[in-house]
């Protein structure tokens, strides 16, 4: 079992967690409908991904 030899100060302990920052999600513009969507995701508004329709949005809304 690991046991520390010396006390770790509050500043040393707190500095370990100082760089845990949240980052804003990377949003790109959908080339089809110009809506802002997440990178590498199908557009929830029009259903297109990389120029191809992968989700039929009208059928998905009915379900």
pLDDT of the residue at 8: 94
Find the Cα–Cα–Cα–Cα dihedral 44, 45, 50, 56, rounded to 10°: 80
For residue 44, how many other CB atoms are within 10 A of its CB?
Answer: 13
Secondary structure letter of residue 24 according to DSSP: -
pLDDT digits (tens, 9 = 90+) for 16-60: 999 888 888 899 999 999 999 999 999 999 999 988 899 888 887
pLDDT class for 15, splitting at 50, 70, 90? very high
Task: For the chain, give every domain's residue range.
Answer: 25-62
Q: Is the pLDDT of residue 61 over 80?
A: no
pLDDT for residue 39:
92
- Give me the pLDDT at residue 59, please: 81
Q: Which residues pair with 29 in a beta bridge?
A: 36
């Amino acid at each position: 079992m690991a046991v520390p030899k010396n006390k770790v100060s509050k500043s040393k302990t707190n500095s370990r967690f100082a760089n845990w920052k949240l980052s804003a999600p990377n949003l790109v513009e959908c080339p089809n409908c110009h809506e802002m969507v997440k990178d590498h995701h199908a557009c929830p508004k029009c259903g297109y991904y990389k120029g191809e329709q992968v989700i039929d949005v009208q059928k998905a809304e009915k379900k």
